Amino acid sequence: MSIDQVENFGNSLVQHGTANDRVYLMKLHRDDFPQILDFINGLALQHGYSKVFAKVPAYAREQFAREGYRLEAAIPGLYNGRNDGLFMARYYHPDRLIDHSADRVREVLEAARDKATPVAETENGEDLECRLATPSDCAQMAELYREVFASYPFPIHDPGYLAGTMAGNVIYAGIWEQGRLLALASAEVDREGANAEMTDFATHPDCRGRGLATRLLQDLERLMSESGIRTCYTIARATSFGMNITFAKNGYEYGGTLVKNTQISGGLESMNVWYKQLPG
């Protein structure tokens, strides 16, 4: 399985490669704007990628639009609760814009909105242990991710990669039952921007329907709020009823759909952006 590479351009962070057939501007530093546009557009042309996808502050919108980018999603107050974050995309091949799952994506959104009644705070069952993961858990975590995802945009099947992200800006929470890992989720924290991406949700197929993802989401939100994070968001598989409903029920707002954006389990999938401002 090929893995896209992550590299720096000045103080900005860019991922690109054939696995997702795209360039992803993950973090834009003001000092690198607007010259980073030449860099990411050049990567797409050099390697023949079909999409460039950029998460940028609102100040960059006009310049990106002039370069042929369109707005696909937005998060109010993404940066420090004050400045909006935008997800902008440029397509280099028209086929990348055609999503044959568009009808299902609409059905998922309708279901999520219909079921957006807030859920109560969850509690552990007698035999469940919900806690933050540690480096000693990484082998078990990678095994669960292999069980749930045939492929993924980041190498979460590798225990070494998971341990490396733990040492950086990613916090993992898991639920165990008698020593067996049932479910995982993570928060990728941008402390400078006071936001966190709630991501990498995985529940063992035998344990779905037990509300484990909701429990992990609520626990991570509490931790984020206590540590000064202002906005949480997710980029969820647009055809997943379960995950979209989970976020809608937990007070997240729909921000837009990223068309055929991410390679998961062997194919390019559209992704829905959901966001939530935390109290305080």
Q: How far apart are CA 156 and CA 75, in angstroms?
A: 26
Mean pLDDT on 117-121: 75
Mean pLDDT on 224-229: 96
Q: What angle do CA 240, 16, 157 make, to 5 degrees?
A: 55
Q: Closest Cα to residue 252, out of 107, 141, 139, 109?
A: 109
Q: 140 and 12: one domain?
A: no
Q: 206 and 235: one domain?
A: yes
Which CATH number is 242's domain given?
3.40.630.30
Q: 112 and 74: one domain?
A: no
Q: Which of 97, 119, 150 is the last residue of a domain?
A: 97
The larger pLDDT score, comparing residue 153 to residue 248, is at: 248
Distant-in-sequence, close-in-space partners of 264: CB < 8 Å, separation ≥ 6: 149, 151, 152, 153, 237
Mean pLDDT on 209-225: 96
Q: How far apart are CA 153 and CA 104, in angstroms?
A: 22
107 DSSP assignment: H
Mean pLDDT on 175-203: 97
Q: 112 and 251: one domain?
A: yes
Flag the least confident range among 41-50, 116-125, 136-145, 209-218.
116-125
Q: 118 and 210: one domain?
A: yes
Q: 62 and 143: one domain?
A: no
pLDDT of residue 118: 77
Q: 135 and 267: one domain?
A: yes
* 40-86 pLDDT per residue, tens: 999 999 999 999 999 999 999 999 999 999 999 999 999 999 999 99
Q: Which of 46, 73, 97 is the last residue of a domain?
A: 97
pLDDT of residue 202: 96
pLDDT above 90: residue 154: no
Q: 127 and 246: one domain?
A: yes
pLDDT of residue 214: 96
pLDDT above 80: residue 125: no
> Facing residues of 5 across strands?
16
Q: 128 and 36: one domain?
A: no
* Mean pLDDT for all residues in the chain: 95
pLDDT above 60: residue 1: no
| Crossing angle between the packed helical segments 212-226 and 241-249, to the nearest 10 degrees | 40
Q: How far is CA 6 from CA 25, 54, 95, 239, 262, in A?
A: 10, 14, 25, 27, 15
> Facing residues of 7 across strands?
14
Range of the structural domain that residue 153 is part of: 102-277
Q: 87 and 106: one domain?
A: no
Q: 191 and 78: one domain?
A: no
Structural tokens at position 29: 């530093």
Mean pLDDT on 200-219: 95
| Confidence label for 127 from pLDDT (cuts 50, 70 and 90) | confident
pLDDT of residue 170: 98
pLDDT of residue 124: 56
Q: Which of 63, 81, 97 is the last residue of a domain?
A: 97
pLDDT of residue 205: 94
pTM as predicted: 0.94
| Confidence label for 126 from pLDDT (cuts 50, 70 and 90) | low
Q: How many domains does the chain fold into?
A: 2
pLDDT of residue 211: 93
Q: 233 and 263: one domain?
A: yes
